[in-house]
Amino acid sequence: MKKILVTGGAGYIGSHAVVELLDSGYEVIVLDNLENGYMDLVDKRAKFYKGDIRDISTFEKVFSDNKIDAVMNFAGYIKVGESMIEPNMYYLNNTYGVMNIIEIMKKYNVKNIIFSSTAAVYGEVDCEGLVYEDYPTNPINPYGASKLMAERVIIDAAKAYNINYSIFRYFNVGGAHEKYQIGQKGDGVTALIPIILQTAKGEREKLSIYGNDYLTEDGTGIRDYIHVVDLVRAHIAALPSLEKNISDIYNLGNGNGFSVLQMLNAAKKVTGVEIKSEVIERRAGDPASVVASSEKARRVLGWEPKYVDVAKIIDTAWNWYKNL
């Protein structure tokens, strides 16, 4: 495998996949509509096409110009709250967009796809231990449902058209590249690390902590945070498995849970800022603890996360974000 098409390659995670693929010796083609992406995040070594995965004609030029070996799809909408207000927008992009990708793969006989799914497919997780891939899927918002439907589209296509897939269900992705000037831009982001860092930078007054009466050590919710570079390296580790016709679904987390207070304290140390916070009501449907088992990705793909220290994850994000 040599040529990889990265859709959504101008976004946060996609741009990290692009540089890691290039540094691993792959040729990279990026397709992005730049709706939530930025040209300055796209490495100049990649070939760029502006286009939309909802428009099948977009793909014709990309696939006829280039002999693509595998598609990594990062293009999609990512905001849970927005998906509740505009569900169809999410199904059109996150599900129908993937159907288009399968259609063009069929036409050009491309046999490999790697798909970014999400822990949101599990819905309200209620388990004491780690979340494994066979935990029942029951998404509670259109974002999670649109991704779960896309998973099904891919799995059915794999059976019928002889396609190999790796589906990755990401937990909370954070951090930024240490070698390249790329990272997560803050606009409208609802993830904890960017919100804490926006507060540290003075762009928000304080961090709202949703409940401190959970049955956890310090009472705040526990989640699993994975560094974006570790995350995209799992995608690269999956490419040889596709060549061996291994298709599977993998959770991607770092396997350790951190509470909101632990994250906040780590960020205070990293930034040197006394970040203000207040405890408010719990949010409906927020579980006490959600931590992934990534054992399957480790075992099948030989992948190992390198950023296990959450302070280091926050540090890389801060180094990028403080200068934006």
Ligand X SMILES: NC(=O)c1ccc[n+]([C@@H]2O[C@H](COP(=O)([O-])OP(=O)(O)OC[C@H]3O[C@@H](n4cnc5c(N)ncnc54)[C@H](O)[C@@H]3O)[C@@H](O)[C@H]2O)c1
CB of 235 to ligand X, least distance (A): 11
Q: Is 170 in the site for ligand X (CB under 6 A)?
A: yes
Q: Is 108 a catalytic residue?
A: no
Contact with ligand X (CB under 6 A) among 3, 54, 204, 312: 54
3-state secondary structure of 259: strand
Q: Is 78 in the site for ligand X (CB under 6 A)?
A: yes
Q: Where does residue 323 rank: exposed (0-12), middle (13-18), buried (19+ CB within 10 A)?
A: exposed
CB of 182 to ligand X, least distance (A): 11
User: Scanning residues 226 to 285, which ones bind ligand X (CB under 6 A)?
Assistant: none
Contact with ligand X (CB under 6 A) among 74, 90, 91, 307: 74
In the Cβ-directed half-sphere of 241, how many Cα atoms lie within 13 Å? 23
Q: Whose Cβ is closer to ligand X: residue 174's or residue 281's?
A: 174
Tell me the residue nearest to ligand X as measured from the CB. 11
Q: Whose Cβ is closer to ligand X: residue 99's or residue 279's?
A: 99
Q: Whose Cβ is closer to ligand X: residue 76's or residue 142's?
A: 76
Angle at 79 between CA 208 and CA 203, to 5 degrees: 40
User: Scanning residues 117 to 156, which ones bind ligand X (CB under 6 A)?
Assistant: 118
CB of 78 to ligand X, least distance (A): 4
**Active-site position among 26, 135, 143, 321:** 143
Q: Is 33 in the site for ligand X (CB under 6 A)?
A: yes
H-assigned helices in the chain? 12-23, 57-65, 80-85, 87-90, 97-107, 142-161, 192-200, 228-243, 260-271, 295-301, 310-321
Q: Are 191 and 172 in contact (CB under 8 A)?
A: yes
User: Scanning residues 184 to 223, which ones bind ligand X (CB under 6 A)?
Assistant: 191
Using CA atoms of 184, 189, 195, 200 in order, give the dihedral in degrees to the nearest 10: 50
Strand partners, 168: 116, 250
Q: Are 269 and 201 in contact (CB under 8 A)?
A: no
The stretch among 32-40, 105-113, 153-161, 257-265 that binds ligand X (CB under 6 A) is 32-40
Q: Angle between the 57-65 and 97-107 helix axes, to the nearest 10 degrees?
A: 40
Neighbours of 206 (CB within 10 A): 10
Q: Which of 111, 55, 119 is nearest to 294 (CA)?
A: 119
Q: Is 89 in the site for ligand X (CB under 6 A)?
A: no
Total interface residues for ligand X by CB under 6 A: 28
Q: Is 19 in the site for ligand X (CB under 6 A)?
A: no
CB of 185 to ligand X, least distance (A): 8
Strand partners, 289: 222
Contact with ligand X (CB under 6 A) among 4, 13, 232, 263: 13
CB of 274 to ligand X, least distance (A): 27
> Which strand ranges, in their side-by-side order, compose the sheet holding 248-252?
47-50, 27-32, 3-7, 70-73, 112-118, 164-170, 248-252
Q: Whose Cβ is closer to ligand X: residue 35's or residue 217's?
A: 35
The whole-angstrom separation of Cα 72 and Cα 324 is 28
Contact with ligand X (CB under 6 A) among 1, 22, 34, 246: 34
The stretch among 18-26, 73-81, 158-166, 302-310 that binds ligand X (CB under 6 A) is 73-81
Annotated catalytic residues are 143
Contacts with ligand X, residue ranges (CB under 6 A): 7-8, 10-14, 32-37, 52-54, 74-76, 78, 93, 97, 116, 118, 170, 172-173, 191
